[in-house]
Amino acid sequence: MKAINQAADYFSTRQSAKILQVSLGTVQKMVEVGELIAWKTYGGHRRILAASLEKQLTRRKQLMRQKVSGNCLVMAIFRRIENREELLEICRDWTLKVDLLWSLDSLEGLMQAVSSAPDLIYLDAFIPPVEQLHIIHYLSKNELTQRIPILVDEGFAQLHPGVIQLAGENSGVIQPQPSAENASSAQNQDILKNPLILGYPADNSQTTKQQLEQIFIEGLSKKYDWA
């Protein structure tokens, strides 16, 4: 698979086939089923939207990586290097094999999440809440990351239900609820459930460490439910 020329907004069917390394017939079928976004010129020639091709490339790279390694790729954003070391130590004893990409900088972490298309995104509990709000909002708006499950401190999720609701609406897994503020408390809890945002306990007890693997596995299952 070849990289896309970012200066172009669209490509011909033949160019698209070359980029994806598939036949012309396959590209035509992908357009027909909606996997690629295209339109026809006055001359009857198809033009494929570059952003649509980029999305397909990202998906294919992800599938190829999973077939080769069988591991779960996690993009983690930390505030402190020692928290990275702690997560690596916890993952080492799991049945689930984890490949960890990481960053101590939120902006760099977001860029890595977009380019690597990880299976899960992990936000360290020590990231300031306001910063976490911005990270989740960006991830839920970007079409390359909006269907990737995000693991956050469960205390953060409880204190900021609004961003959970908005992220769900952005990714299409929650329908907008304009009258949510008038709903009962019980109804609000149902409305604000976002299957792509999972809370994890941030304490360091042995029970928590054992639970964390199951939360990662649950995140993987959610990803494929909403892929």
pLDDT at 123 over 90: yes
Does 84 share its domain with 168?
Answer: yes
Q: Is residue 24 part of a domain?
A: yes
pTM over 0.85: no
pLDDT at 66 over 70: no
Does 129 share its domain with 169?
Answer: yes
Q: Is residue 174 part of a domain?
A: yes
pLDDT at 185 over 50: no
Q: Which parts of the chain fold into alpha helices (H)? A: 13-20, 24-32, 50-69, 81-91, 106-116, 129-141, 154-159, 161-171, 185-191, 206-226
Q: Is residue 1 part of a domain?
A: no
Q: What percent of the chain has pLDDT over 90?
A: 33
Total number of domains constituting the chain: 2
pLDDT at 187 over 50: no
* Residue 83: C-alpha distances to residues 79, 124, 158, 204, 215 (Å): 8, 8, 22, 11, 18
Does 104 share its domain with 147?
Answer: yes
Query: Which is more confidently placed, 43 or 108?
Result: 108
Tell me which of 3-17, 106-120, 136-150, 194-208 is least confident: 3-17
Q: Is residue 216 part of a domain?
A: yes
Mean pLDDT of 63-74: 68
Q: For residue 23, give its domain range.
A: 10-58
Instruction: Look at strands 72-77 and 98-103 and give their pairing.
Output: parallel
